[in-house]
């Protein structure tokens, strides 16, 4: 067996083809690159320019659609506001008509007000006023009218509680009036709830509540309540006390725990005939507490103030917030 000579390998068709391709690459690569580079660059620039134009057109179209949506939404809100304003004027005018003492008509006006304005107006004084007007009625008529008034109040409280419960915590409590007398140990309930607020530093913590009913006034159907609360594990203890009756509404009759925490206690059901009441405690973030819940100026400063530079070296500036908010439960 003989080995092919190098000369025979160089003269073979495969070797000649390989040599030609190598020469072509060596000689033609640079000119080809010089010719193709501008062409490829221009093509890339054209593709990017086309993509930029399409993105700009899409953004302009989305902005136009958004402006149209906002305009339609504003017009709808304006129309709704006009209707509500007219409805409010008519209803409140008929309710406050000094020439009318028809309690049934006032009940209808009050129910319409609660259906349309319960989230923006504190309607408790209207309930109290109607309850006083009913005292002069005969017993059978008074019981009928009060049952209707209690039904309206209960429906309003349930609607408001449903709004507050979305991001909140609820604790129900059955109170037996038999244990409310002088010398008795006041009935109480203790619970703790997950933190409800927007402070990242407190995420995952809990807040403790202790609620006590100290007094009961059957004639006015009122309960005097003491609430103690503290942020776990080592927060300062806070105290709140107030009177409750069946016409306190939780969305606007609440107490302020901190810049971003609220709670409300209300009578869900009052049954004098069965000698008990159901109380609800709602713990919720300030974002749920309605349009009337405005932050104090010190809270705004504390949130907007940067914690950098020389201030950080001296420690953060802190502000103490009042215990009760501007819409705390009123006293009758």
Say what the pLDDT of residue 105 is. Answer: 82
Q: Say if CB 263 and CB 242 are below 8 A apart.
A: no
Nearest to 173 by CA among 123, 241, 223, 247: 223
Between CA 236 and CA 253 the distance in angstroms is 23
Q: What angle do CA 267, 114, 97 make, to 5 degrees?
A: 115
Per-residue pLDDT of 221-235, as tens digits, reads: 999 999 999 999 888
In 3D space, the residue among 216, 289, 214, 277 whose CA is nearest the CA of residue 250 turns out to be 289
The per-residue pLDDT for 319 is: 36
∠ CA 247-274-248, rounded to 5°: 10
Q: How far apart are CA 195 and CA 256, in angstroms?
A: 14
Structure tokens at 244: 């409750």
Per residue in 293-302, pLDDT tens?
A: 665 555 656 6
pTM of the model: 0.63
pLDDT higher than 50, residue 322: no
Distance of CA 237 to the CA centre of its chain: 25
Higher-confidence position of 245 and 45 = 245
Query: Mapping DSSP to helix (H, G, I), strand (E, B) and coil, where does residue 37 land?
Result: helix
Q: Which of 238, 234, 243 is nearest to 261 (CA)?
A: 238
**The pLDDT value given to residue 198:** 80
User: With 90 as the cut, is the pLDDT of residue 283 above it?
Assistant: yes
How far, in Å, CA of 152 to CA of 251, rounded? 15
Residue 132 pLDDT exceeds 60: yes
What is the predicted pLDDT for the residue at 42?
78
**Contact status, residue 165 vs residue 288, Cβ threshold 8 Å:** no
Rounded to the nearest integer, the mean pLDDT of the chain is: 78
CA atoms within 13 A on the CB side of 16: 5
DSSP run (H or E) holding 43: helix 13-95
Picking from 234, 216, 233, the residue whose alpha carbon sits closest to that of residue 225 is 216
User: 213: number of CA atoms within 13 Å, CB side?
Assistant: 27
Of 21-35, 62-76, 168-182, 278-292, the one with minimum mean pLDDT is: 21-35
Q: Which residues of 101-140 are buried (b: 16+ CB within 10 A; e: fewer)?
A: eebeebbbbbbbbbeebbbebbbbebbbebbeebeeeeee
Query: What pLDDT shows up at residue 153?
Result: 93
Residues 6+ apart with CB under 8 A from 175: 187, 213, 223, 276, 277, 278, 279
- Looking at residue 58, what is its pLDDT? 87
Q: For the chain, what percent of residues have pLDDT higher than 70?
A: 71
Distant-in-sequence, close-in-space partners of 226: CB < 8 Å, separation ≥ 6? 186, 211, 212, 214, 239, 240, 241
The residues pairing with 194 across neighbouring beta strands, listed in sequence order, are: 206
- Cα gap 209→232, rounded to integer Å: 10
Distance CA 296, CA 301 (A): 9
């Amino acid at each position: 067996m003989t080995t092919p000579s190098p000369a025979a390998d160089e003269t073979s068709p495969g070797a000649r083809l390989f040599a030609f391709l190598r020469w072509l690459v060596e000689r033609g690569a640079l000119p080809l690159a010089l010719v193709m580079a501008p062409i490829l660059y221009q093509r890339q620039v054209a593709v990017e320019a086309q993509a930029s134009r399409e993105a700009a057109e899409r953004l302009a179209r989305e902005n136009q659609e958004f402006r149209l949506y906002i305009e339609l939404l504003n017009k709808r809100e304006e129309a709704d506001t006009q209707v509500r304003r007219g409805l409010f004027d008519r209803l409140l005018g008929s309710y406050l008509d000094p020439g009318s003492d028809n309690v049934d008509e006032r009940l209808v006006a009050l129910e319409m007000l609660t259906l349309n304005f319960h989230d923006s107006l504190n309607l408790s004084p209207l309930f109290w006023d109607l309850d006083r007007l009913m005292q002069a009625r005969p017993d059978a008529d008074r019981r009928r009218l009060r049952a209707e008034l209690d039904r309206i109040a209960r429906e309003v409280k349930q609607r408001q509680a449903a709004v507050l419960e979305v991001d909140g915590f609820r604790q129900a409590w059955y109170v037996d009036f038999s244990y409310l007398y002088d010398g008795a140990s006041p009935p109480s309930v203790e619970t703790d709830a997950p933190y409800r607020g927007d402070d990242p530093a407190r995420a995952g913590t809990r807040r403790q509540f202790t609620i006590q009913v100290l007094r009961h006034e059957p004639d006015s159907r009122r309960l005097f309540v003491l609430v103690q609360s503290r942020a776990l594990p080592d927060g300062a203890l806070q105290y709140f006390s107030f009177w409750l009756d069946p016409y306190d509404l939780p969305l606007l009759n609440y107490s302020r725990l901190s810049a971003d925490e609220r709670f409300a206690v209300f009578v869900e059901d009052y049954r004098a005939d069965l000698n008990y009441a159901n109380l609800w405690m709602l713990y919720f973030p300030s974002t749920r507490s309605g349009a009337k819940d405005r932050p104090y100026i010190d809270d705004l400063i504390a949130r907007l103030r940067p914690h950098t530079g020389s201030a950080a070296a001296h420690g953060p500036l802190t502000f103490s917030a009042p215990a009760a908010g501007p819409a705390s439960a009123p006293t009758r």
